[in-house]
Every structure is written in structure tokens, then in C-alpha cells.
Amino acid sequence: MTINKNELFKAMEVYNYSQASLARKMKIDPVTLYYVLNDKRKAGNKFINGLKLAFPDEVVKNIVLI
């Protein structure tokens, strides 16, 4: 799946998440978040589920592009 990085960065700012704190909230390795943000890896199910842990559903709908 594709991630709308602009929306993700906006949400991170609103929720005051750094990349490290977002990775902790998502329960993923910070390196995985880095790779997705830098187009070195696609977002998989674990990543999407992590977004659901870190953000409300309405925010996730804006971040995940199907």
C-alpha cells in the first residue's frame, strides 16, 4: 500500500510524534518507519495496523492510499 507522506507528517506534527515516538506507538521498529518514509520499503499490514494504533481512524484514512 502507498502512504501519503505529507498527511503522515501533518498527523505527526498534530500529535507531537517524532519518528522514534511514532514507531513506539505503532509497535514497529524505527528502521521500518524510516524505510517506508524514504521509499525503501512498501507499507505492509503490520505498518497499517500500527498506524491504527497511533492515530484515530479518520486520520489513517487520509494517510493510507488504496
Contact 19, 37 (CB under 8 A): yes
- What is the C-alpha to C-alpha distance for residues 4 and 66, in angstroms, rounded to an integer? 10
For 8-20, b/e burial (b = at least 16 CB within 10 A) is beebbeeeebeee
Q: Model's pTM, two decimal places?
A: 0.91
CATH number corresponding to 2-65: 1.10.260
Domain boundaries, the chain: 2-65
> pLDDT tens-digit profile of 32-51?
999 999 999 999 999 999 99
Tally Cβ neighbours within 10 Å of residue 60.
Answer: 19
Tens digit of pLDDT for each residue in 21-34? 999 999 999 999 99
